[in-house]
Chain A
Amino acid sequence: EIVLTQSPATLSLSPGDRATLSCGASQSISSSYLAWFQLKPGLAPRLLIYDASNRATGIPDRFSGSGSGTDFTLTISRLEPEDFAVYYCQQYQDSPRTFGQGTKLEIK
């Protein structure tokens, strides 16, 4: 199965900062079937980015995804208070669909 490794595990930033989250794959995701989700306690996981770079419905344009092959990035251009959460990447090219271990974005 494809193993996804996210870095850093924790990112401490302030509102207004730029956040860069990375997701590395153990083998090429040649289809670019790579997504990013936001998780907050007690809430439904929220799809942010699909197909590596497409924003999901209703997602603000401060969220952007990029990358190909084995290296992918989620960028949040200017952090808002509501953006502090845990972020997961997921590949859906191969079965089983796998997730990274998550990056916790916390307020500095």
Chain B
Amino acid sequence: EVQLVESGGGLVQPGGSLRLSCKASGFTFSKYAMSWARQAPGKGLEWVSSISGSSDITYYADSVKGRFTISRDNSKNIVYMQMNSLGAEETAVYYCSKRSTTRGGIDDYWGQGTLVTVSS
């Protein structure tokens, strides 16, 4: 059974940093790209970043480019999201997801999310 468990969320001051983790199990982690998305309170979902299985390719939404860094440790089955210079508008539940290897690469399994609150 595929399981994704996010952690690392919490309260951070504006301008601060936070590192999220997503522990994966139930599949051969290194073979799959992984992604992060977020949902701000009362808002819709927003894709944030993705990373290939071997870490050689990364993608970022324009809104986080230069401030967020996605990485992974295939020996530990963990994907990370380092978030710097956080703003209040980035208060959200952050989800990680596994990308399928089907032709389009849909994100087929998701974690329950971790809440990040940016506030003074």
Contacts and interface: CB of A to CB of B under 8 A. Distances in A.
Interface of A: 31, 33, 35, 37, 39, 42-47, 50-51, 56-57, 88, 90, 92-93, 95-102
Given A50-B104, A92-B105, A45 B110 contact: yes
B113 A51 contact: no
B62 interface: yes
Contacts of B107: 47, 92
Contacts of B47: 96-99
B11 interface: no
A47 B108 contact: yes
A90 B99 CA distance: 14
Interface in B72-120: 95, 97, 100, 102-113
Contacts of B113: 44
Contacts of B108: 47, 50, 56-57
Given A33-B104, A93-B104, A45 B44 contact: no
Contacts of B100: 50
Contacts of B103: 51
Nearest to B48: A96
A50 B106 contact: yes
A96 B61 contact: yes
B24 interface: no
Contacts of A45: 45, 95, 97, 110
Interface in B1-18: 4
B27 interface: no
18 contacts: A31-B104, A33-B104, A33-B106, A42-B112, A44-B95, A44-B109, A44-B112, A44-B113, A50-B108, A51-B103, A57-B108, A88-B44, A88-B45, A90-B45, A96-B62, A97-B47, A99-B45, A99-B47
